[in-house]
Chain A
């Protein structure tokens, strides 16, 4: 054993309170950057929670993007069975979407940050049911390809032991639903970054080894008829998604790493 003066220091840490998960911490949910430069504007309103961060568009009633970090330590068996929750944290005057806006619309309440990525506790899981984390998705999308890719991301975190940084959102318009006129996106997109092994924060690791950083970018049509389609069918690049959405991804990374990640096209195999 090396010269670790450990025993005398146990007292230093004895008073620490335990946390339920290492990564379900507000400052870790958008480490790769704020893709829309979201702030206090109603058209680009930043919401930061321990479970995820997002940029909300009040006029459309859906998030422009949602971002979170996923590890094997975030997954458990917490289960929330209640209604979806109106986001009462939104400032007065902003659109507050309700559970009923989706009822009988023909669209599912599609999680961006999934419940099962945050079910290490019931409370963390419950926070994913807040409606600013939700977009209207066709049942074939939400219960098929979207759910399958969510499962894949969790399995990837578990089978590799590595952190997965995820962003998702929607773009385009297929009309609106509900009394609050919630926009139905034409596409949903998702980017999963499998952070390479190494030392330091995810930013340090990705900057140090962009070639070893796996990027899976998907553009999923919000259609009927795609339920059984493998998610690999809809692989694209983050750069292409930038062009479609007007967002800027990975701005926390240096230019070399950012360019590599933006243009990497995944092969669909881990």
Chain B
């Protein structure tokens, strides 16, 4: 027994050693034990490979079972299920045979599935093998959709070793990975040592890297001292990067000190971001000092006339919430023009939200016909969002001259969004010809969107000929946009020719 036991032990030891060497063999890494369980007979053998200087580079096709499983998952039509299964699948494959997994990823077309695989596998690999992960990223992440993985990697690299990550930036070739790599690295650098990051950015030669480094470091500066950042941005950045960075700084200053922000805004070059900053600043300012905010807005330079008009509108909107009477007084003092026009809309909406009757009374009292019409339209439309039946009753009751007809259409358009059935039922009882026509034009597109034939039937049942024709034409126009052949076929019928004026 002891001899038999010793022989068995010796054989087991030899067998274990053979297995250990087989598993450790570089050429066989991809066909590891987990895959062997899946398909032992199909395991590829890397006997034909050229002299192996770098074992990782030897291409070994994935085992057929995993490949076929991948194909099955990729064929799933439901995206949520496909992505969930893929996530589980890549994790499993990575744990068993990461080289085989990267080979499979390389065979995928660019898109969400490939990007999801890289987004999981590369950072996972980078935790222990950062150099290898970067090599894979440079080789595989070449599509725009894959690019964010460079952000993940350089965020991780910079946290692992800032100096090494900085040196590795030079390895990222121009292309999709360049910008995310630089931004991610620089964010970590600036958060850990802002002064050093700014000094490093300043030491870089002019070029894309320098611009990205400065913009990112200054972003961090905006979080720590936005006023100081504002000056640095003006000195060091240009174009869109400057404008968006200035706006970023201002979004931090405005909530705390809108008046201070207004001084900085005056230094900004004209840009879309300046328009945003002006609106944000005056809203914050109007919360406490609307008079001062309005005085500032009305004094903006001529090249900011449009922004000034919208600033006044924002100020009066905020002011009207707290003190409608004062806001209306201030509005009345505005000169005619762009500023008043913009303010009418906001005031009408704000006043109606609080009290439709007061808003309509104010609108009716406006001296200018154009202002009155605009205020009425906004007010009635806002009211219709809250209570369309009441708004419809009111609009009909004030009379349906051409303007009131438009107002009724406004109400019906909003009612259709809320309850199309109730709106169409209401219209059946309308007798005023102008109101009925306006209602027909407003409702027909909503009905036609659901069912053109049903919309035609509804139009045919309208009690007045003019409204019927208007409704049929409106159904036709909408139908034409959705299904031109069907709409044109109807237009060729006697009814269609009559309604559309066709031959």
List the interface of chain A (C-beta within 8 A of B): 1-7, 9-10, 12-14, 16, 18-23, 25, 27-28, 31, 57, 60, 64, 71-73, 75-77, 140, 148, 151-152, 155-156, 158-161, 171-175, 183, 186-187, 199-204, 207, 221, 223-230, 233, 244-246, 252, 254-257, 269-270
Contacts and interface: CB of A to CB of B under 8 A. Distances in A.
A126 to B, nearest CB: 20
Given A19-B386, A204-B442, A72 B346 contact: yes
B83 A23 contact: no
B314 A158 contact: yes
A187 B372 CA distance: 48
B403 interface: yes
B115 interface: yes
A164 to B, nearest CB: 13
Contacts of A75: 283
Contacts of B153: 225
B112 A200 contact: no
B272 interface: yes
B95 interface: no
Nearest to A244: B112
18 contacts: A6-B364, A18-B354, A19-B386, A20-B353, A22-B349, A22-B382, A75-B283, A76-B321, A77-B287, A172-B112, A173-B87, A173-B116, A200-B413, A224-B123, A224-B184, A226-B180, A229-B179, A244-B79
Interface in B408-461: 409-410, 413-414, 416-419, 442, 445-446, 449
A12 B397 contact: yes
B255 to A, nearest CB: 10
Interface string B383-412: 101110010011001110101001001100
Size bin of chain B's contact surface: 35 or more
B386 A25 contact: yes
B262 interface: no
If over half of B's interface residues share one DSSP class (helix, strand or loop), that class is named, otherwise mixed; here it is helix
Residue from B401, B409, B413 having most chain A Cβ neighbours under 10 A: B413
B220 interface: yes
Nearest to B377: A199
Contacts of B383: 13
Contacts of A221: 115, 119, 148, 151
Given A229-B183, A254-B482, A199 B112 contact: no
Given A57-B80, A171-B112, A246-B78, A73 B280 contact: no
Contact of B155 (A76, A225, A269): A225
Given A19-B386, A27-B418, A201-B414, A159 B275 contact: yes
B155 A186 contact: no
B172 to A, nearest CB: 13
Interface stretch (B8-16, B35-43, B49-57, B355-363): B355-363
B342 interface: yes
Contacts of A140: 155, 187
B346 A161 contact: yes
Interface string B297-332: 000000000010010011001000100000000000
B288 to A, nearest CB: 11
Secondary structure at the A interface, as helix, strand, loop or mixed, is loop
A172 B117 CA distance: 10
Contacts of B307: 159
B116 A12 contact: no
Residue of A71, A171, A201 ringed by the most chain B CB atoms within 10 A: A201
Most interface-central of B148, B220, B310 (chain A CB within 10 A): B148
Nearest to A155: B276
B283 A223 contact: no
B187 A72 contact: no
Shortest Cβ-Cβ A-B pairs, 5 listed? A225-B155, A225-B184, A225-B151, A200-B413, A221-B148
A148 B251 CA distance: 9
Given A12-B393, A224-B123, A228-B183, 15 more contacts: A5-B399, A6-B398, A12-B390, A20-B353, A22-B352, A22-B386, A72-B283, A148-B248, A160-B310, A186-B112, A200-B413, A203-B446, A255-B482, A269-B272, A270-B272
Nearest to B350: A73
A13 B84 contact: no
A223 to B, nearest CB: 5
A228 B349 contact: no
Contacts of B120: 174
Nearest to A154: B280
Contacts of A23: 385
